[in-house]
Amino acid sequence: MADTSTAPNQGQSQELTREQRETVKQLAAEVYAGNGEGSTEEQRERNKAAKKGVLLKEFGNLLLAGVPDECRDFMPTLTARKEVEQTVGKSKVKKVELAGLPLRLKFWTVHMADSYPALAFVANRVLRMHATTCASERNWSLWGNLFHKARNRLGQMRAMKLIFIRQNDSYAAKRNALSDEEVVMQLLAGEEEE
């Protein structure tokens, strides 16, 4: 049976609750602060705190002042929701379409970056994230292929090195088509030299 559900509050403004806004602010602050910079743990923590402060200030300014006047023309396009009806088999499915990713990226990188550089940085990072689990599935598959009955005592460091070789040395793997045993032998030879 086809899913005929649509987005909640169709056609209405979807305001975030106070708790949701706080969660978004904290997540954005973590993304912007990153791991911090500096040679000591204290310097890194100070740097992270300063970056978080900058982002939280911009977030507050955006909530108070709103979108800059020169960017207001883009808001109807960015927030518009279009209900599209598609035929799948014998049933009709309704779905909601929003503004495309390139338009949203352009809005943040071109128009909002001058007024809110920290928020533009976070928006750029978040909007460019892959919304798929393919890479992690591929990684789990590699780990599953690495550990089997014959290799049940493989140490963690050696296993991580083998996974690194398999994932990152695709050129050599394509050129030589190395088997798992050949990769292990090369790894062991490299460890003996150290």
Position 97, amino acid: E
The top-scoring range by mean pLDDT among 7-21, 116-130, 168-182 is 116-130
* pLDDT on residue 114: 84
The per-residue pLDDT of the chain, averaged, comes to: 76
Cα separation of 25 and 148, whole Å?
44
Predicted model pTM: 0.52
Give the three-class secondary structure for 83.
strand
Pairing of strands 82-88, 91-97: antiparallel
If you average pLDDT over residues 43-57, what whole number do you get? 85
φ, ψ for residue 105, nearest 5 deg: -60, -45
φ, ψ for residue 84, nearest 5 deg: -115, 135
If you average pLDDT over residues 27-40, what whole number do you get? 77
Contact by Cβ (8 Å): 94, 78: no
Residue 59's nearest CA partner among 32, 99, 77, 98 is 32
Contact by Cβ (8 Å): 84, 97: yes
* pLDDT on residue 10: 43
Alpha-carbon distances, residue 109 vs 2, 71, 112, 156 (angstroms):
38, 12, 6, 41
Give the three-class secondary structure for 91.
strand
Contact by Cβ (8 Å): 51, 38: no
- Does 8 score more than 60 pLDDT? no
- Band (178; pLDDT cuts 50, 70, 90): low
Cα separation of 140 and 127, whole Å?
25
Residue 74's nearest CA partner among 32, 52, 102, 47 is 102
Q: How many CB atoms lie within 10 A of CB 17?
A: 8
